[in-house]
Amino acid sequence: MIKILLFIDYSSDFDRKLLLGLVRYAKENNAGWLFYRLPIYYVTMHGTKGVLEFAKNWGASALIGKWTDDTINFQKELNIPVVLQNYHHRSTCTSNLTGAYKETGKMAAQFFKKRLFENFAYFGIKGVVWSDERREGYEQEIKCFSGNFFCFEVEGQDKDELREEIINWLLQLPKPIALFCCDDAHALFISEICKIIGICIPESISLLGVDNDELMCNISDPPISSIELEVEKGGYMLGKLIDKQLKKEYTGPFNIVINPVRIELRQSTEKYNIKDPYVLKVVHYINAHYYSDLSINTLLTHVPLSRRSLEVKFKKIMHISVYQYILKVRCDYLGNLLLTTDRTLRELSIEVGFKDYNNVARTFKKYKRISPNEYRKKGNVYNPNGYA
């Protein structure tokens, strides 16, 4: 009997998706694994050595866990596959369940840049690898386009203990501002504070989190937009590599890198930093009606401008023509559907407003730099069978 010892918390959506992918691999490949979750409080009661002794006494075949104590080399002590879920840093002696943290930060910065923000902020935890590197990627990308960057990081304290300092920081930030949080829990914390002190989201602060935790994002008012990670795919690949190690087909530590795949848009990021009211109105109308038969004439019925005036104003502010912007928005929504459904490209193309199916793939590749099929295969959020 293959025994997999899990030292992972079930409380977060991230951990549940990870375990879902892991269990799916085991079932689809008839691995015959027995899972046992060791409660997180076990280490508080018995220490890291207690976890080690439990693993030995139970006869664990592999260990997947999250801990911060580096005094014990589990890999050396147990001589079984050991995978560490990163917290303070990446392990140098065991396999790592890690992430493309800097890429996640860059994705957030690029997202806000497209909404023409000039001021950017980050709220996170100092000394934690996934938060530190998300901040680094976010800040580096912002420097590339000369944005103004502000940061508040909690270090060694609970964020609730620093509530007054965080309130003062939020009040002093220039508005409007794009605020990226290290995860959805911290984004929800910011949302709750803003509600109390009267800062409007998204009008004054456009708020973005990470993990796309459905409960945390939707319990907020307004609901929080969030970067979705390929966590379930990571869990599946974790199962595959552990299986290879158990069968002696693969030796040595490995890294499972969980990538960001898309942004789940909700009301917290509806703000565009566009000062011209007519261009702003057109942008909002396109985003709300991208699936319909849009044309310049349709848009002109909503703003008191001539065709030439609208085209010139729009191109000057958005750095793209009205027609190109419509195509770009349709490609964004098409990309989202490719990652979250298994429906055909033809069906999805019609749904997002493309009338000429024969040109969809070419148009999509122009704006995404990758074909629809490659985009779906790369993201692979919906179809777990593609993980293998």
CA distance 153 to 315: 38
Average pLDDT over residues 44-66: 90
Please report the pLDDT score of residue 378 as a whole number. Answer: 77
Nearest Cα neighbor of 229 from 97, 355, 348, 320 is 97
Domains in the chain, ordered, with CATH?
2-99+231-261 (3.40.50.2300), 101-228+263-269 (3.40.50.2300), 277-374 (1.10.10.60)
| DSSP bridge pairs for 260 | 229
Please determine, for residue 293, whether its predicted confidence score (pLDDT) is greater than 80: yes
Sheet arrangement for strand 2-7: 33-37, 2-7, 62-65, 82-85, 95-99, 255-258
Distances (CA, A) of 108 to 105, 173, 243, 263, 384: 5, 18, 35, 9, 26
What is the predicted pLDDT for the residue at 366? 94
**Residue 70 confidence (pLDDT):** 67
Which tens digit of pLDDT belongs to each residue from 307-340?
Answer: 999 999 999 999 999 999 999 999 999 999 998 8
User: In the prediction, which pLDDT does 386 show?
Assistant: 38
CA gap 351, 370 in Å, rounded: 20
The model's confidence at residue 86, banded by pLDDT at 50, 70 and 90, is confident
Give 229's strand partners. 260
Q: Is the pTM of this model over 0.75?
A: yes
Residue-level pLDDT at 382: 37
What is the β-pairing status of strands 225-229 and 260-264? Answer: antiparallel
pLDDT tens per residue across span 172-229:
999 999 999 999 999 999 999 999 999 999 999 999 999 999 999 999 999 999 999 9
pLDDT band at 73 (very low <50, low <70, confident <90, very high): confident
pLDDT at 160 over 90: no
